Amino acid sequence: MTLQLYNTLTRKKAEFIPIDAGHARMYVCGPTVYAPAHIGNARPVVVFDTLFRLLRRIYPRVSYVRNITDIDDKIIAAATQSGEPIAAITERFTDRFHTDMDALNALRPTMEPRATGHLPQMIALVETLIARGHAYAADGHVLFHVPSMPDYGALSRRNRDEMVAGARVEVAPYKKDAADFVLWKPSTADQPGWESPWGRGRPGWHLECSAMSEAHLGVPFDIHGGGLDLIFPHHENEIAQSRCAHHGGPFVRVWMHNGFLSVSGEKMSKSLGNIVTVSELLGDWPGEAIRLALLSAHYRQPLDFSEATMAQAKATLDRWYGALRTAAVAPGSTEAPPPEAVRVALEDDLNTPQAIAALHEIAGALNRATDAAERRDLAGALRAGGAALGLLAGAPEAWFRAAPATLAAVDIDDRIAERLAARKRRDFARADAIRQELADAGVVLEDKPDGTTLWRVVR
């Protein structure tokens, strides 16, 4: 099977063929670094990391660019409120983003450009748009003139009234058209700013991604990804800027968008007080379980994230690692090709639920197998299939011995030793009490015929 991807622009699934044979190029909108990443921010990271892993197995060269937005009005507002310098805020939350995404086993992108490092490219892009009649300077601003692009709105397929309302752009007297959007805006003395032909100012958010993607991938390139909420106005405006700067030529071959994420049936929002950060979740759950939960629904479908979702993901990994544990096969290279059922599922528009179902089948077969060679082959297949999803890279014992925050692994081992000593002196009441105390802390013991006691954490 060839790789099939759904294109938001055409509303169709089609075979993916890179513009340059042997080199796939992908850009994904990254974080705006002014607050901790929440679980909704993590979904596109995990989705497109899975696609990145797949592309690397198919093509000899893959360029994956995910930007850092470190110029933004939200960052300025956070600095004003806290009194902390903007550079300190962006550095701190960039580091925290990396730490959180590393914990979800997301690979670092090939390149991670920052907006602050691309001001010359942004200014040059604005100058080109003005020269070609697609932008104009007014009252210290530079705006893209939407009516200059006849097919504006092709990605979102909204009518003009919907676009004006949905863009939530300021209706200012200096605008030629209500839909026109900002490319460059003036900065006050207490705001970050850069010198430009239009005065000291800063770029609009949409402009940043157009400049950074072109700088690192060229125009056109293969895949542009992000959340469904970015289709309009962000991605629509990227298309307008980049195509009009290149005489209307193509910008991106395939547009991919992951679905919305809700929390326990409700939209995640500050007003509802239900924003769940990745770091908060990592205090209660392994990063690998969070990753599996985010892959449990097809990337284009909505995903409801809840305690039950997490418990199911943890139980699934318990089962898979349990199968690997009985096979006594150590972690090996993740370069082995995934089983055909997993590969076929992922090449069908990144169908992770189907790939997960295939891993369940392999784990079941491994649990039933009695022949040593067959068990070894099945364990290898389970490892390789998991690796394609960014899972099952660790040792089973390390997985099961990941202690809850309330109890350190050394304490658990001490309690097990105490329990074994109690059993030897036939103090079964004390032994049972220790087992129960550990169970209450989420640690389940398993006594082996040879006298060994294994333990695993449950939640």
CATH number of the structural domain spanning residue 130: 3.40.50.620
User: Residue 332 has what pLDDT?
Assistant: 56
Residue 266 included in any domain: no
User: 217 and 285 share a domain?
Assistant: no
User: 179 and 219 share a domain?
Assistant: yes
Q: Which of 208, 159, 205, 200 is nearest to 181 (CA)?
A: 205
User: 222 and 106 share a domain?
Assistant: yes
Q: Which of 265, 371, 360 is nearest to 322 (CA)?
A: 360
User: Residue 326 has what pLDDT?
Assistant: 83
- Edge-to-edge strand order for the sheet containing 221-227? 61-66, 23-28, 221-227, 252-258
Q: Which of 404, 403, 392 is nearest to 323 (CA)?
A: 392
Structure-token match 């479908």, residue found: 301
Out of 380, 397, 414, a domain closes at 397
Pairing verdict, β 201-203 and 181-186: antiparallel
Residue 138 is inside which H or E element, if any?
Answer: strand 135-138
- What would the pLDDT profile of 87-146 be if each residue is shown by its tens digit? 999 999 999 999 999 999 999 999 999 999 999 999 999 999 999 999 999 999 999 999
CATH number of the structural domain spanning residue 393: 1.20.120.640
Band of the pLDDT at 333, cuts 50, 70, 90?
A: very low
Q: What are the residues facing 201 on neighbouring strands?
A: 186, 194
Residue 218 included in any domain: yes
Average pLDDT over residues 294-306: 97
Residue 431 included in any domain: yes
User: 251 and 306 share a domain?
Assistant: no
User: CA-CA distance, 338 to 336, in Å (whole number)?
Assistant: 6
- What would the pLDDT profile of 156-183 be if each residue is shown by its tens digit? 998 877 766 655 556 788 999 999 999 9
User: 377 and 428 share a domain?
Assistant: no
User: 172 and 112 share a domain?
Assistant: yes
User: 241 and 386 share a domain?
Assistant: no
Residue 267 included in any domain: no
- What would the pLDDT profile of 381-433 be if each residue is shown by its tens digit? 999 999 999 999 999 988 987 755 455 665 777 888 888 888 889 888 888 88
Q: When comparing pLDDT for 47 and 419, which is higher?
A: 47
User: 303 and 437 share a domain?
Assistant: no
- What would the pLDDT profile of 50-67 be if each residue is shown by its tens digit? 999 999 999 999 999 999
- What would the pLDDT profile of 213-261 be if each residue is shown by its tens digit? 999 999 999 999 999 999 999 999 999 999 999 999 999 999 999 999 9
Which of 177-181, 339-343, 363-367, 448-452 shows the lowest mean pLDDT across its residues? 448-452
User: Residue 457 has what pLDDT?
Assistant: 67
Out of 371, 397, 423, a domain closes at 397
Q: Which domain holds residue 153?
A: 4-258
Residue 436 included in any domain: yes
Residue 365 included in any domain: yes
User: Residue 167 has what pLDDT?
Assistant: 59
User: 392 and 412 share a domain?
Assistant: no
Residue 350 included in any domain: yes
- What would the pLDDT profile of 366-387 be if each residue is shown by its tens digit? 999 999 999 999 999 999 999 9
Q: When comparing pLDDT for 79 and 159, which is higher?
A: 79
User: Residue 86 has what pLDDT?
Assistant: 96
Q: Which of 349, 365, 350, 355 is nearest to 386 (CA)?
A: 355
pLDDT at 203 over 60: yes
User: 323 and 410 share a domain?
Assistant: no
Do residues 162 and 255 lie in contact, with contact meaning Cβ atoms separated by under 8 Å? no
Q: How many domains does the chain have?
A: 3
User: Residue 439 has what pLDDT?
Assistant: 82
pLDDT at 458 over 70: no
User: 297 and 362 share a domain?
Assistant: yes
Q: Which of 229, 255, 225 is nearest to 52 (CA)?
A: 225
- Encoding tokens for residue 40? 């909704």
User: 235 and 338 share a domain?
Assistant: no
